[in-house]
Structure 1
Amino acid sequence: MANIENFLKEEQDKYEKIYIDINYAIDNISDFISKENISKRKYVSKLGVIKNYLDLIKNTNDKLNKKSIFKLFNNKDKYKNDLIKYKIEHDRDFKQLNNCLKCSCLNCVKECNFDTCLGCRFDSKIVYCDHEKINVTAHHNFILDLINNNTGEKDKYEVLATIQDISKDKRYIVIRNINDFNEKYILYYYPGIIEDSYGEITDVEEFDYIAQIFSSCNLE
């Protein structure tokens, strides 16, 4: 019985904090941003997933308190499995909400011209934004299959970050060969409806400028 009780307490403590932190962020920005724009933020649209999970935990606790010891012993694994199943079914939402808590947009009250939440990929977050020209998005589990110019063979590249410069209407992408972490590239990035495309940066000053921005960011 202690195991299921410990599990429920740990889950409740963890997700109550997330739920409170996100609601606190919504309260912080609600006086400065229109309801329409607030509703576009991913953490607002996905908040119900955590609320439902907390309700499931509460309902499970209520059931456990009403069960006899014998019935509890026979059903405790089922209760835990039901909660785990819910988290698996909503895994993408839980992961994104964890990213939202670390995102620069969480408490931002600027109605900006960046892509913001509408352009955010799954398992990504903004790690730097100057609110005027530049923002940087860190990505996880974003893999590209590209031709390696050195070998002529197709390799897999991990996307470390994408950078948007709205003053020049340009986007950049920073990638790393998953088989050779020393092999990194910074390229122009052209998101497409069907597929994305990339281009070489030939201007040395521009390349160094984007490299400096990337190097200054904490991607975690």
Structure 2
Amino acid sequence: MNSDFEIITREKETWGKIYTDIFYAIDNISPFLPEDFLKKKKFYVKGKVLKDFINLLEEEEQKGNKKGFFNKFSSPNLSSINNFKAQNKDTLTQLENCSKCACLNCVVECSFKTCSGCRRNSYIKTCDHSKINVRLHSGFTLDLTNNDTGKENKFKVLATLENCEKEQEYIIIQNIMDSNDRYILYLYPGIKEDTYGEITDEEEFDLIAESFESIEA
């Protein structure tokens, strides 16, 4: 039983911090942004799921303070916690990333895609609020074929970037088998699949490379 309560304590520590970050941000930005813009933010719309999860954890934790029949302490129901996490896995993952996102406490009504550009397991690492943002990803890989050799390789997506002045997106990828094999490409998001293109403008290429390198430094 003690181990069950230890699990709940760890869950509360992890998700309690995320809860605090999310709802502090909502309170912080709400006075400065119109509701229609707020509703574009995923953490604003989906925050109730996190609130419900924290309430569930607290309810199960309280069982350790209540004595049942024959004065024995009741045991928490870990299955209800695990079921909730499983049923809301994508939303909780999204909110965890939201808590790290540069958009979280931002009150600028910008022209970036922001939340609408989020893939699963991604968040915006840096944003200059006017031209360029850099989005990081976890577990995002691509199988691409080299046009010259015909060989297929698996690439890890290091980042995607958005230039809202040009209304253009970019993707930076790295060969999983060769960390020195990196590419910066145009990214054209599609309904069924994305497509990519070579950047021929040297100045544009350098801007994207420098924007990414600034977060690697």
TM-score (norm 2): 0.90
Residues 48-127 of structure 1 mapped to structure 2, 5 A cutoff: 48-64=48-64, 65-68=66-69, 79-127=77-125
- 3-state SS of paired residue (1:155): strand
- 3-state SS of paired residue (1:112): coil
Residue 170, structure 1, aligned to residue 171, structure 2: no
> 2:20 is matched by which residue type in structure 1?
I
- 3-state SS of paired residue (2:97): helix
> 2:91 is matched by which residue type in structure 1?
D
**In the alignment, what sits opposite 2:45?**
45
**In the alignment, what sits opposite 1:21?**
21
Residue 180, structure 1, aligned to residue 178, structure 2: yes
Q: CA deviation at 1:152?
A: 1.1
Question: In the aligned structure 1, how far is the partner of 2:174 from the partner of 2:110?
Answer: 30
Distance 1:218 1:26, change over 3 A: farther
Structure 2: 5+ residue stretches without partners: none
Q: Deviations over 1:53-98 (max 9, x none)?
A: 122222223444243479768x65xx12321232132222222111
174, 192, 195: which one aligns with 1:194:
192
- 3-state SS of paired residue (2:32): coil
Moved more, 6-15 or 173-182: 6-15
**In the alignment, what sits opposite 2:151?**
153
Question: In the aligned structure 1, how far is the partner of 2:207 from the partner of 2:70?
Answer: 66
Question: In the aligned structure 2, how far is the partner of 1:44 from the partner of 1:118?
Answer: 13
Q: CA deviation at 1:112?
A: 0.6
Question: In the aligned structure 2, how far is the partner of 1:3 from the partner of 1:40?
Answer: 40
The answer on whether the counterparts of 1:127 and 1:218 sit within 8 Å (CA) in structure 2 is no
Question: In the aligned structure 1, how far is the partner of 2:214 from the partner of 2:153?
Answer: 27
> 1:28 is matched by which residue type in structure 2?
N
Q: CA deviation at 1:212?
A: 1.0
> 1:120 is matched by which residue type in structure 2?
C
Q: Deviations over 1:93-133 (max 9, x none)?
A: 22211111111100000001100111211111111111111
Residues 128-139 of structure 1 mapped to structure 2, 5 A cutoff: 128-139=126-137
* Same amino acid, percent of matched pairs: 46
Question: In the aligned structure 2, how far is the partner of 1:13 from the partner of 1:188?
Answer: 40
- 3-state SS of paired residue (1:107): coil
Q: CA deviation at 1:175?
A: 0.7
> 1:144 is matched by which residue type in structure 2?
L
Q: CA deviation at 1:170?
A: 1.8
The answer on whether the counterparts of 1:188 and 1:198 sit within 8 Å (CA) in structure 2 is yes
Q: Deviations over 1:7-50 (max 9, x none)?
A: 22222233222212211101111111011211221111221222
